[in-house]
């Protein structure tokens, strides 16, 4: 098999800088606001409270240490490894926390001599510690969004992308992004997402709608999309999801029409849950796709939170996924290994099945 590229996929750091305003005061204000609304159940209050707990600083230290304790992570992949983050770098969207997140990502990538790329999440456009989207009107949130993007994304979205990789049999493995963040007051409050126009520096709206751009590439490709909200989300919560997920899946399918055997792999975060769960990665992307609303030749891989603190004992373990892409004859092979941190004493460890298997493989037929 020919190695193509390795992605270290992290998401949902939820950083709160030590120089930020008192996060505990922000959490108390949030609990007072939502805890006294009779129509909200305890589960709904817990949902909001879990989202503002900030990060476990030891989790990031353990993540960094892993690269030095386990050289195999980068061995034989030097020059072909990229660190990617699919959003929610911060908890409250304040500049101190966003700066810290960017500095940490940049410092690690520089030390390991690898490229890094990030998109932003719904938390990253919040107006600051203690002031969530529920406390602002749409105009104020729009100003905050624009200031954040100008400061941290250089008037572009996303913050660069991994380079396209040429395939031996022709065509490319290419990388793209879709902005799923809603910058309006109540959709953002309930963490709702939508793929829509992204015109924030294009007053004339000459840039095509994001879904129109999906079909704007020509050639035999396998495309990897970075999104914050996953297109396939099996959770039962009525909010928090991508509202037009079926339309996005349909646009992917329509784009595949003129590109025989064109495949789409979507890498996301947001849910704080691994999907598919370890041991359930499909062996092939084919016609029988169980990841609704995705269809043939489409796959969703969602990672959990790298470092968010738990709330009242609730919240999953910290994890990330290592994704290695190979070309093997007429197939693209994706190898996934999940690393999980269930205890600060153990750091990040590869997740294994009862049979001791750590690596899972997904294949896609190339044209």
pLDDT at residue number 343: 64
Whether 44 is covered by a domain: the verdict is no
The pLDDT, as a whole number, for residue 217 is 58
Distance of CA 230 to the CA centre of its chain: 8
Cβ count near 39 (within 10 Å): 5
Output the CA–CA distances (angstroms, integers) from residue 308 to 71, 88, 346, in the order listed: 26, 10, 17
Closest to 348 in 3D by CA, of 309, 319, 307: 319
Among 206-220, 241-255, 260-274, 324-338, the range scoring the smallest mean pLDDT is 206-220
In a domain, 360, yes or no: yes
Contact between 40 and 117 under an 8 Å Cβ cutoff? The reply is no
What domain count does the chain have?
A: 1
Query: Is residue 160 in a domain?
Result: yes
pLDDT at res. 288: 63
Q: Is the peptide bond before 144 cis (omega within 30 degrees of 0)?
A: no
**Domain contains 34:** no
Rounded distance between C-alpha atoms, residue 320 and residue 181, angstroms: 22
Q: Is residue 35 part of a domain?
A: no
What does 276-298 look like in DSSP terms, one character per residue?
Answer: SPTT---SB--S---STT--TTE
User: How far is the C-alpha of 349 from the C-alpha of 28, rounded, in Å?
Assistant: 34
* Arithmetic mean of pLDDT, 59-74: 92
CATH number of the domain where residue 74 is located: 3.60.21.10
> How many residues in the chain?
367
Dist CA 343 CA 321 (whole Å): 17
Identify the domain containing residue 227 by its residue range.
Answer: 2-19+55-365
DSSP state of 241: S
Residue 101 neighbours by CB under 8 Å, 6+ apart: 13, 15, 89, 90
Q: What gap in Å lies between CA 141 and CA 132, rounded to an integer?
A: 10
Name the DSSP class of 208. Answer: P
Q: What is the pLDDT of residues 338-363, one digit of tens each?
A: 999 986 667 999 999 878 889 999 99
Residue 50 in domain: no
Cα→Cα distances 283→75, 224, 327, 359, Å: 25, 18, 15, 12
pLDDT of res. 318:
94
Element (H, E) at 139: helix 138-152
Average model confidence (pLDDT) across the chain: 85
What's residue 207's pLDDT? Answer: 75
pLDDT, one tens digit per residue, over 238-253 is: 778 999 999 999 888 8
- Range picked from 305-319, 325-339, 340-354 for highest mean pLDDT: 325-339
Q: State residue 346's pLDDT score.
A: 79
Over range 174-192, report the average pLDDT: 91
Task: Classify 7 as helix, strand or coil.
Answer: strand
């Amino acid at each position: 098999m020919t190695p193509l590229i390795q992605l270290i996929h992290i998401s949902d750091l939820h950083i709160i800088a030590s120089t930020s305003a008192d996060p505990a005061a922000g959490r108390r204000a949030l609990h007072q606001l939502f805890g006294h609304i009779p129509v909200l159940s305890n589960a709904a209050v817990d949902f909001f409270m879990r989202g503002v707990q900030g990060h476990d600083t030891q989790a990031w230290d353990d993540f960094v240490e892993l690269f030095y304790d386990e050289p195999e992570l980068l061995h034989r992949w030097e020059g072909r490894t990229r660190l990617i983050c699919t959003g929610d770098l911060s908890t409250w969207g304040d500049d101190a926390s966003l700066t810290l997140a960017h500095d940490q990502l940049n410092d690690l990538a520089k030390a390991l001599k690898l490229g890094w790329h990030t998109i932003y999440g719904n938390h990253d456009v919040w107006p600051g510690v203690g002031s969530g989207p529920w406390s602002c009107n749409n105009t104020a949130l729009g100003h905050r969004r624009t200031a954040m993007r100008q400061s941290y994304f250089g008037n572009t979205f996303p913050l660069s992308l991994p380079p396209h990789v040429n395939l031996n049999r022709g065509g490319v493995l290419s990388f793209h992004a879709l902005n799923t963040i809603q910058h309006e007051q109540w959709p953002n409050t309930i963490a709702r997402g939508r793929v829509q126009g992204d015109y924030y520096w294009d007053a004339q709206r000459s840039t095509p709608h994001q879904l129109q751009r999906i079909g704007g590439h020509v050639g035999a490709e396998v495309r990897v999309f970075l999104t914050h909200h996953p297109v396939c989300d099996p959770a039962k919560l009525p909010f928090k999801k991508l509202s037009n997920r079926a339309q996005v899946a349909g646009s992917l399918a329509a784009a595949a029409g003129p590109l025989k055997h064109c495949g789409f792999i979507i890498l996301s975060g947001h849910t704080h849950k691994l999907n598919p769960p370890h041991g359930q990665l499909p062996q092939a992307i084919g016609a029988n796709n169980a990841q609704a609303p995705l269809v043939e030749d489409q796959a969703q891989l969602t990672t959990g939170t790298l470092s968010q603190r738990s709330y009242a004992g609730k919240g999953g373990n910290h994890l990330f996924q290592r994704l290695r892409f190979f070309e093997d004859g007429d197939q693209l092979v994706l190898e996934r290994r999940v690393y999980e941190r269930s205890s600060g004493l153990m750091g990040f460890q590869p997740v294994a099945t009862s049979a001791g298997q750590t690596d899972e493989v997904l294949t896609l037929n190339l044209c």
